[in-house]
Chains A and B, each alone.
Chain A
Amino acid sequence: MESAMTLTSNTLVYFVALPLLSSALLLLLGRRADRWGHVLATTVAGATFVFGLIELFAMVGRDEYSRAVHQKVFTWISVGSFQVDAALLLDQLSICFVLLITGVGTLIHIYSIAYMADDPDRRRFFAYLNLFIAAMLLLVLGDSFLNLYVGWEGVGLASYLLIGFWNKKAEYATAAKKAFVANRVGDLGLSIAIMIAFAVFGTVTFKGIEEQAESASQAAMVAIGLMLLLAAAGKSAQFPLQSWLGDAMAGPTPVSALIHAATMVTAGVYLIVRSNFIFDNAPTAQFVVVLVGAITLIFGALIGMAKDDIKKALAASTMSQIGYMVLAAGLGPIGYAFAIMHLLTHGFFKAGMFLGAGSVMHGMNDEVNMRRYGGLARYMPITMVTFGLGYLAIIGVPPFAGFYSKDKIIEAAFNLGGTKGIIFGSLTLLGAVITAFYMTRVFMMTFLGKKRWSDGAHPHESPFLMWAPMVLLAVGSVASGFLLYSGKRLEYWLKPVVDKHGHSHEEFLSHTTVTTLALSAVAIGVAIAIMKYRGDVPTTAPENVSPLTKAARRDLLQDDFNEAVLMRPGQALTKVLVATDEKVIDGAVRVVAGAAVGSARGLRTIQSGYVRNYALLILLGVAVLIAAVWVITA
């Protein structure tokens, strides 16, 4: 291992502090900040992006092993050997995220100014957005699992607040709560991972654990790895904790774009890649990561095929694409860089498509049902083009971004080798077919065909503030893949963080073969979709469909499963315990109290109130006493 040098900095804290303070300011000032709140929030987001760019250029200027920057802000928790500093670490991995978060974040801020213009609570919305940016930056900048945890729950809170932003609708409030609780299941995993890490290593910093990672027992590493995976599954909507993501679309669309597509949901991938030193030493855990990724990528794709709600279809697609990333991250050093690459490109095209969806909804009186769209290309040309570029990127058409990133994941999966390689490779290919199918379906149902909307709708193009961010994201969807891929730029950039030892792998299938396979998969998917949706689309969803479609419409029954296995037994248990507390535990206490009262009532009858009775009793008592004394002394 080359000795890495870490520079110290005293400016990193502003990444977190600025958005956090602006958020607090907007919340505390209340209505007084209504007029300029969005401007402040957007300026701060933009400033952090510029700040990130400066850091990036400074980093590029240094040599490969001294790029990381570290700042200890203050001693946070210090008890015995448990020492945790509030400290930030900016290295090659985190800078990718910083730029993604602040870059996409700024664009979405700008978009939201127009999108939320009519909402009386726009200031509160921007306060939440900045809270999210602060938490997400802390998540990727924290130098220990505990600092990461703070950001981790912080983004969960921001997501909760934003999903439930329009919580006047009861089901939106429920969706927010569901997201938070599902995330908390994951958080339990992270807590347990922290507990094990401290018991095993005596520290929770990434650096401290990495240094000792090789000498830890296999069992401990697998345990930590699996717990981290649980955390990642909660945050990144991976199987079996994925069911909250679809409901999370209750939030305003910019939120879905920023949090539930581009950034927060990919935090799980970040966690796995960041913990590479753990997973590299725990092959069993790695295999489970791949498995979860593969299951989710198919799972999400299947759901995506059946959804008529444009946002839910995109959410299912997000789930599936993150499945790709998780799968890649589970492949170890050969996959980490590609997981991050796909994460970045996905950030562009998925955020772009969500903004496009928002733009469509904006023009269609918040209608989300794609069966009520159709033929919108004529009315919303910019939205159609930007959405279209994102669409081409996600299905993996060269030379758009998704082509490079997804292609490399498929290749890496095949290169796992042996049966495993063939199985997972084929699954990624199958995923590509389905992705091509459902994305084509979304595009055709929305923009092509005949108009199916009611007379009340007057579709129109969105204002400049909305389409400008979409255009910029579309540029990213086109160019980011090639930029990151060419010359293995991202691979070399991340190498000092995720692949210190250098790895070699045998090529199982040649690059050309994989590309051919992937492109044919895309072609098949697109072809099927075109054949199926070429004609008229019924405005109500047909009922006579296969059981699989029915299941997919219900999110492949995950909710039903959760309800039957967790919720109902939980509610029953709660009822039983409440009754037990009342009847058995408190009951026992009341029995004791009742016995005391009862015996008192019995003894009270002796107290007749007649003086002679008392006198008689006294007399008898004296007699008994004398008798007793006599017996004892005799």
Chain B
Amino acid sequence: MDISYYLYLSAILFTIGAVGVVIRRNAIVMFMCIELMLNAANLSFVTFARINGNLEGQMVAFFTMVVAACEVVVGLAIIVMIYRSRRSASVDDASLLRR
């Protein structure tokens, strides 16, 4: 199988994730979209590692996973707090920074 298909898949996943972040309002869904984008990037990294025949890309992928895990911890905590105080997970309601 042509190795470039992995890259196409990665691009499609990334696009789905990006569109999701832009058009959805639910924080949880946006969060999942971000994860999707991160994983799309990971897929690309691993693919490139394979193409180039070295381990650097895989290393970055692991790195990304760790960061993503941290992000999930912090992000979910924030979302839960917002949900508790507002009974809603819509990010449009939380536009407080504007003021």
A29 within 8 A of B: no
The answer on a CB contact under 8 Å between B23 and A609 is no
A504 within 8 A of B: no
Closest residue of chain A to B33 (Cβ to Cβ) is: A615
Interface size class of B (residues with CB under 8 A): 10 to 19
The winner among A609, A616, A619 for most chain B CB atoms within 10 A is A609
User: What are the interface flags for B2-26 relative to A under an 8 Å C-beta threshold, 1 for contact and 0 otherwise?
Assistant: 0000000000000000100111110
Q: A611 to B23, alpha carbons, bound, how many Å? A: 10
Residues of chain B with a CB closer than 8 A to A609's CB: 95-99
The answer on a CB contact under 8 Å between B21 and A615 is yes
Count of chain A residues with a beta carbon within 8 Å of a chain B beta carbon: 9
Q: A616 to B98, alpha carbons, bound, how many Å? A: 17
The answer on a CB contact under 8 Å between A611 and B30 is yes
A interface SS class: helix
A458 within 8 A of B: no
Give the total number of A-B pairs whose CB atoms are below 8 A apart.
30
User: What are the interface flags for A600-615 relative to B under an 8 Å C-beta threshold, 1 for contact and 0 otherwise?
Assistant: 0000000111111001
Closest residue of chain A to B34 (Cβ to Cβ) is: A615
The answer on a CB contact under 8 Å between B21 and A607 is no
List 13 contacting pairs A-B, 8 Å CB cutoff, sorted by A.
A609-B95, A610-B92, A610-B95, A611-B92, A611-B94, A612-B21, A612-B23, A612-B24, A612-B91, A615-B18, A615-B22, A616-B22, A619-B18
Q: Closest CB of chain B to A606's CB: distance in Å?
A: 10
From 64 to 99 in chain B, residues with beta carbon under 8 angstroms from any chain A beta carbon are 91-92, 94-99
Residues of chain B with a CB closer than 8 A to A607's CB: 97-98
Q: Which residues of A come within 8 Å of B, CB atoms?
A: 607-612, 615-616, 619
The 10 A-B pairs with the shortest beta carbon distances in the complex, nearest first, are: A609-B95, A609-B98, A611-B91, A615-B21, A616-B22, A612-B22, A615-B22, A609-B97, A610-B92, A619-B18
Q: A609 to B92, alpha carbons, bound, how many Å? A: 8
Q: Closest CB of chain A to B95's CB: distance in Å?
A: 3
Q: A610 to B96, alpha carbons, bound, how many Å? A: 9
Residues of chain A with a CB closer than 8 A to B24's CB: 612
Q: Closest CB of chain A to B64's CB: distance in Å?
A: 17
Residues of chain A with a CB closer than 8 A to B25's CB: 612
The answer on a CB contact under 8 Å between B21 and A608 is no
Residues of chain A with a CB closer than 8 A to B30's CB: 611-612
Residues of chain A with a CB closer than 8 A to B96's CB: 609
Q: A134 to B98, alpha carbons, bound, how many Å? A: 75
